[in-house]
Amino acid sequence: MIYLDNAATSYPKPECVTEQVVRVITECGGNPGRSGHRLSLAASEIVFRTRSAVAKHIGAKSEENIIFTQNATYAINTILRAKVKAGSHVLLSDMEHNSVWRPIWRLAQDGLITYSLFSHEGDIRKNIQEKLTRKTDILICTHISNVNGFVFPLEEIAFFCRARGIYMIVDASQSIGHRAVTVDKIDCDALCAPGHKGLYGIQGSGFFYVREAQGLKDVFQGGSGAHSLSPEMPDYLPDRFEAGTLSTPAIASLGAGIAWVEAQGVENIENRERSFSRRLHEYLSDLPNVILYSKPESGIVAFNIAGVPADEVAERLDGFGICVRGGYHCSPLAHRSLGTPEGGLVRISAGAFNTMGEAEVTLYRLLSLSKEYAAQGYKKK
Amino acid sequence: MLTDIIVIGSITYALKAKNALREAGIRARVRKLDGSNRRGCSYGLELPAGQLLTVAAILRPLNIGYEMYNE
């Protein structure tokens, strides 16, 4: 089996991640930050150590600026709802995932905010400038598109936002662990990420970073383990945003995943994934009935075989033991931008475990599919 | 052994303080403190007696606020 759906979730997980999850469940099973007994304190230590590891990994100034969530979607929803105010105008790129678009759409439907999309093509600063209104106070942008791997110039966008007092939120779902992601370098106000993709934690792990707590209201309310006599959530980080019991096993897996990624070297992982992607791009661009929608900027390869539904190609590849994802990838905005709103496309997404040998096997299977469909008369219009 | 106890509040700050003190050679123990103060449950640190001035100098730059705890 060749797993090439790492943009959805990474697989396999490193052995140290599995071992850590089992260890934490069996040995540190208390509720972190709630009780004073050894099992609760042991769980608290695990959570704190992971918080430190995340902070260090993304260059955050302190552990408390990291807030754990169950995935990037919850992180994005939380920071958006914490920051928006009545009358806010939010800018988002035309390549955003539904994890960004849907919460913004809902807030707009409820009459709280307005929003505009800016194009990822051409001069992005100019595109943003054209969509600015006097009420624009938040911009949210993915780092790397989950559909075609397009890389946004975040530092340039952040510079633009900083100069205009716009709060900038980054969705690092497809970049974290795949390349260096440093919040100080980007100079963003908030960054959201899953733990189960490029950082090799298990599903149920995610987090967001915020530069400061000021101006952010709590979104979920509940037990936080401290200052419990007050009806209000604590006003300090991370407690303001961490209502209810945290998932210690998921958080522990994230800590182990980060340690593994750092031992491999993020740059080495990036180079490996890009080599994989480059090889596929070189080959697929020569096939007459293959349409490419990506460039070898990341580990993502986006394509269609002319006239063939993306899900059919994905299913055929699954028949060969190759796991890829066809369809819309929860990103209708991106498909509209790329001109693939009907049927979507096929996405191959490499991870740290993929080898060049697997790239060759994949290419061999794609070549045979391409020939088979060409023989049936499927061709580019 | 005589000890002093400081109330910090959140477990995150208590653990952060414990680590900072450990780096400075001061062994501290995280404790869940009873909810008899006005704010409810809190975490704090049990420290070796006589170290409070040093502890203050270490925790202040980290913006870790605390108050003394009376058992």
Number of structural domains (chain A) is 2
pLDDT, position A371 = 96
Q: At what angle do helices A38-58 and A15-27 cross, to 10 degrees?
A: 150
Q: Please give the average per-residue pLDDT across A361-376, as a whole number.
A: 96
Same domain, A212 and A293: no
Is residue B37 pLDDT above 80, yes or no? no
3-state DSSP helix/strand/coil % of chain A, to nearest 5: 40, 15, 40
Closest residue, chain B, to A51 (C-alpha):
B12
Number of structural domains (chain B) is 1
pLDDT digits (tens, 9 = 90+) for A30-89: 999 999 999 999 999 999 999 999 999 999 999 999 999 999 999 999 999 999 999 999
Tell me if B9 and A226 make a contact (CB, 8 A cut-off).
yes
From A233, A264, A295, give the residue that closes a domain. Answer: A264
**How far apart, in whole angstroms, are the C-alpha atoms of residue A143 and residue A53?**
21
A209 within a domain of the structure (yes/no): yes
pLDDT, position B38 = 65
A3 within a domain of the structure (yes/no): no
Tokens 């033991």 locate to A321
Tell me if B16 and A36 make a contact (CB, 8 A cut-off).
no
Same domain, A123 and A270: no
Q: Residue B15 belongs to what domain range?
A: 3-68
Q: What proportion of chain A, given as a percentage, has pLDDT over 90?
A: 97
pLDDT digits (tens, 9 = 90+) for B6-36: 999 999 999 999 999 999 999 999 999 976 6
Kind of pairing between the strands at A66-69 and A167-171: unpaired
pLDDT digits (tens, 9 = 90+) for B53-70: 999 999 999 999 999 987
Q: Where are the beta strands (DSSP E) in A143-220?
A: 167-171, 190-194, 206-210
Cβ-based contacts of B64 with chain A (< 8 Å):
none
Same domain, A288 and A144: no
Average pLDDT, chain A: 97
Same domain, A273 and A231: no
In angstroms, the separation between the Cα of residue A130 and the nearest Cα of chain B is 42
In this prediction, residue A226 has a pLDDT band, given cuts at 50, 70 and 90, of: confident
**How far apart, in whole angstroms, are the C-alpha atoms of residue A206 and residue A176?**
11
For an interface test with B, give the residue of A31, A235, A236 to mutate (most B CBs within 10 A).
A236
Same domain, A177 and A306: no
A381 within a domain of the structure (yes/no): no
pLDDT, position A52 = 98
Whether chain B has a CB inside 8 Å of the CB on A94: the answer is no
Fill in the DSSP letter of residue A300.
E
Contact A320, A297 (CB under 8 A): no
In this prediction, residue A378 has a pLDDT band, given cuts at 50, 70 and 90, of: confident
Report CA A177 to chain centroid distance, whole Å: 10
pLDDT, position A380 = 66
pLDDT, position B19 = 97
Angle at A141 between CA A299 and CA A239, to 5 degrees: 105
From A264, A295, A330, give the residue that closes a domain. Answer: A264
Q: Please give the average per-residue pLDDT across A279-306, as a whole number.
A: 97
In angstroms, the separation between the Cα of residue B7 and the nearest Cα of chain A is 11
Closest residue, chain B, to A229 (C-alpha):
B40
| Order of all β-strands in the sheet with A345-349 | A290-292, A300-305, A345-349, A325-327
CATH number of the domain where residue A357 is located:
3.90.1150.10
Whether chain B has a CB inside 8 Å of the CB on A224: the answer is yes
In this prediction, residue B40 has a pLDDT band, given cuts at 50, 70 and 90, of: confident
pLDDT digits (tens, 9 = 90+) for A130-182: 999 999 999 999 999 999 999 999 999 999 999 999 999 999 999 999 999 99
pLDDT digits (tens, 9 = 90+) for A171-197: 999 999 999 999 999 999 999 999 999
Is residue A359 pLDDT above 80, yes or no? yes
The b-or-e profile of A303-338 (16+ CB within 10 A means b, else e) is bbbbbbbbeebbebbeeeebbbbbbbbebbbbbebb
Closest Cβ opposite residue A44 in set B11, B39, B41: B11
Same domain, A58 and A104: yes
Tokens 């099992």 locate to A39
Give the helix ranges, DSSP H, for A28-172: 38-58, 72-83, 98-109, 124-131, 154-164
Fill in the DSSP letter of residue A307.
T
**How far apart, in whole angstroms, are the C-alpha atoms of residue A311 and residue A321?**
15
pLDDT, position A119 = 98
Q: Please give the average per-residue pLDDT across A306-330, as a whole number.
A: 97
The b-or-e profile of A57-91 (16+ CB within 10 A means b, else e) is bbebeebbbbbbbbbbbbbbbbbbbbbbeeebbbb
Closest Cβ opposite residue B39 in set A32, A62, A227: A227
In angstroms, the separation between the Cα of residue A37 and the nearest Cα of chain B is 8
pLDDT, position B1 = 65
CATH number of the domain where residue B38 is located:
3.30.70.260
Query: CB atoms < 10 A from the CB of A168, how many?
Result: 23
Cβ-based contacts of A39 with chain B (< 8 Å):
none
pLDDT digits (tens, 9 = 90+) for A108-128: 999 999 999 999 999 999 999
Query: CB atoms < 10 A from the CB of A220, how many?
Result: 16
In angstroms, the separation between the Cα of residue A193 and the nearest Cα of chain B is 21
Tell me if A229 and B16 make a contact (CB, 8 A cut-off).
no
pLDDT, position A381 = 61
pLDDT, position A57 = 98
